[in-house]
């Protein structure tokens, strides 16, 4: 079981980054080369020859060597595990965002997994899908941000809270038939009382997987991942991860 998991981890990591390389992502060399070199050093793989010959055959041969060593020794790269959706949700739930109880390490791991999930949305045309209909609770929106998505920060700035110290209890999206959306933000005052801020808007498909809010906070959001119980959207800041609330 451990060997199978190790093979999946290593294959998933390298497969994703080879795809990113072929897509021309500029950050790849800095992120990928040190890890690949560590693997080569650990297992004494002749990586130098593969770096100088950019052919599919040699790349596949290199990956097969890595898999072979992973099967025999087990992978040490837990930091780069690629989780499936169920595992990601489990990770979300074991460290809830309310009260800023997540460590930086936990948030960084969540951010990495969000990036991996966004590579493969399971829903075709997610911005137009009826799966959007329902109530969604914000679970994560980047490292060090708690539940402070951009609309929340605009609210706090308007109240001259430029350090964003006001605690946020929850952010909820309710999308109804006809793609009308109700956004509810719950702030916690210094004396412990809650303040509910509600904005309503109409969602319209702007282009591709991008929806725009007519009214409300007036945002443009790209739906990057949509499944039965998980929604990820990206605005002008970090991706926002929502979990469906079953009523």
> Of 55-69, 70-84, 154-168, which range is least confident?
55-69
CA distance 56 to 62: 10
pTM of the entire predicted model: 0.67
Q: What is the DSSP letter of 160?
A: T
Q: What is the DSSP letter of 194?
A: E
% helix, strand, coil for the chain, step of 5: 45, 25, 30
Confidence at 95, pLDDT banded by 50, 70, 90: low
Between vectors from CA 67 to CA 24 and to CA 122, what angle results, nearest 5°? 55
Task: Give residue 17's pLDDT.
Answer: 52
Task: Give residue 68's pLDDT.
Answer: 53
Domains observed in the chain: 2-80 (no CATH), 86-245 (2.40.128)
Task: Give residue 171's pLDDT.
Answer: 94
Is the predicted pLDDT of residue 2 greater than 80, yes or no?
Answer: no
Task: Give residue 135's pLDDT.
Answer: 98
Task: Please spell the DSSP secondary structure of 13-24, one letter per residue.
Answer: HHHHHHHHHHHT
Structure confidence by residue, pLDDT tens digits, 167-178: 888 999 999 999
Of residues 117 and 27, more confidently modeled = 117
Work out the burial of residue 34: count CB atoms within 10 Å of its CB; fewer than 13 is exposed, 13-18 middle, 19 or more buried: exposed
For residues 34-42, give the mean pLDDT.
45
Of residues 244 and 21, more confidently modeled = 244
Is the predicted pLDDT of residue 28 greater than 50, yes or no?
Answer: no
Between vectors from CA 169 to CA 167 and to CA 174, what angle results, nearest 5°? 135
* DSSP 3-state of 149: coil
Strands 134-140 vs 168-175: parallel, antiparallel or unpaired: antiparallel
Task: Give residue 78's pLDDT.
Answer: 58
Is the predicted pLDDT of residue 64 greater than 90, yes or no?
Answer: no
Q: What is the C-alpha end-to-end distance of the chain, expressed in Å?
A: 37
For residues 221-228, give the mean pLDDT.
96
Task: Give residue 39's pLDDT.
Answer: 45
The token pair at 129 is 């899908």
Structure confidence by residue, pLDDT tens digits, 103-162: 888 889 999 999 999 999 999 999 999 999 999 999 999 998 888 898 898 888 888 876
> Of 46-60, 147-161, 228-242, which range is least confident?
46-60
List beta partners, residue 198. Answer: 184
């Amino acid at each position: 079981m451990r060997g199978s998991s190790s093979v999946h981890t290593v294959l998933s990591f390298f497969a994703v980054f080879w795809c990113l390389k072929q897509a021309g992502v500029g950050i790849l060399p800095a992120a990928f080369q040190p890890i690949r070199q560590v693997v080569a050093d650990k297992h004494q793989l002749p990586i130098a020859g593969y770096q100088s010959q950019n052919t599919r055959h040699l790349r596949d041969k290199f990956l097969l060597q890595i898999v072979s060593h992973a099967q025999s020794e087990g992978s040490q790269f837990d930091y780069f595990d690629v989780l499936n959706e169920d595992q990601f949700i489990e990770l979300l739930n074991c460290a809830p965002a309310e009260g800023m109880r997540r460590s930086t390490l936990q948030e960084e791991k969540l951010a990495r997994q969000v990036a991996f999930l966004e590579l493969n949305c399971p829903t075709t045309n997610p911005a137009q899908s009826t799966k959007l209909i329902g109530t969604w609770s914000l679970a994560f929106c980047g490292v060090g941000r708690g539940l402070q998505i951009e609309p929340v920060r605009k609210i706090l700035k308007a109240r001259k809270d430029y350090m964003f110290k006001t605690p946020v209890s929850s952010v909820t999206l309710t999308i109804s038939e006809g793609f009308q959306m109700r956004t509810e933000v719950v702030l916690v005052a210094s004396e412990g009382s809650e303040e509910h801020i509600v904005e309503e808007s109409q969602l319209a498909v702007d282009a591709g997987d991008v929806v725009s809010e007519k009214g409300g906070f007036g945002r443009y959001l790209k739906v990057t991942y949509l499944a039965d119980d998980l929604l990820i959207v990206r605005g002008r800041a970090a991706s926002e991860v929502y979990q469906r609330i079953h009523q």
